[in-house]
Structure 1
Amino acid sequence: MITLRHALAIATALITFAGPAYAQQWYQVEVVVFEQLNANTDEAWPTMPVGNTTDLTPRSATNRIQPAQRGELSGIAERLRNSAGYRVLSHEAWQQSALGRNASQPVQIEGERLTGKIHIYKSAYLHSVLDLWLTSGSTTFEAQQYPNLNESRRIRSQELHYFDHPRFGAILQLKPIATPDNVLNAMQGGESYSLPD
């Protein structure tokens, strides 16, 4: 017969050995990055570093971000597309667990006139680090000066977060979700990213 003490010991062991993918809260991450077309400014921009060709997105079958045509921010992206003053550069979505700063990996964001990364992690609170560059659209990146949106902040899930720059901006949202089935089915590997359904 299983006593309460045995049941608690079994439950503790299951939680302890379940692994980081099971112990962490998962989030649906969605971002819209847009250019402000009427932004005339005489500001000097930083020089974009060259030679940083590292693939920042973790390698696995389920880690790729995808265009978010049906996401929570689709209405916002559509309004920006229909406005004469803005151009949507990227509208992406992915799922990831809330890992610590050193354990989580940045996600590469690419577009015709956009390159950079978004890093979501959790310490005591959720945090986001955006490092996005508005480029000329050329496929060869030379050491030139480009507008850079580089901002780190504490964020909350289920809220819209606006990142502002004189030339472009980003709207980010995280929503808590259940651990994806493909992660639950993967017994090993520490998978921390997934595609939305």
Structure 2
Amino acid sequence: MSLSIIPYPHPTLRVKSSPIRRVDQTLKDLANEMLDLMYAAQGVGLAANQVDLPLRMFVVNASGVKGEGEELILINPELQMPRGNESEQEGCLSLPGIYGQVKRPKAIRLSAYDINGNAIERNVDGFLARVLQHENDHLDGVLFFDRMNDEGRNEFAGALDELETDFRSKQSAGAIPSDADLLARLDDWRERYA
């Protein structure tokens, strides 16, 4: 299976992802493909539902460069103990060219599993904490602009409308299945891993 990054307003971006109950070689291969896609798109994080998989997994490398920084594959992550607040600009690989100021906690506690089933427990702050929160939001069907005020969102409302119009026109032309058909395909993944 070849993965690709799905664009807003693809319905899988709004799906609350299911916890992963088993890991096999296929899932490991998918995680590695997600890393490759993330690097190719010059991103620092990519959630499974951004590649049309309804599973609680995301990949991260705050450096954005393969072979540099720390590469993480996180399964069933939980973020707790938020501390402090700061506002920084964010973007999203599913919303190309759209950026906005998002207020988030400066520091968090990460609990997750790596791809080999090892538990990860650590305190995280700075840019990596922001990336983890952004990707974890994806797993709950939350996009970064949902965390912005109306004034901030209004700055790129036109760009969002363009993405929506483009997606819906491709659906009308039959190039993309209907939302119902797209969502129905997720059940196979849930049955296999969740």
Fold in common (TM above 0.5): no
Q: In terms of Rg, which structure is larger?
A: 1
Ranked by relative contact order (alpha carbons within 8 Å, sequence separation 6 or more), the top structure is 1
Higher helix share: 2
TM-score range, shorter chain: under 0.3
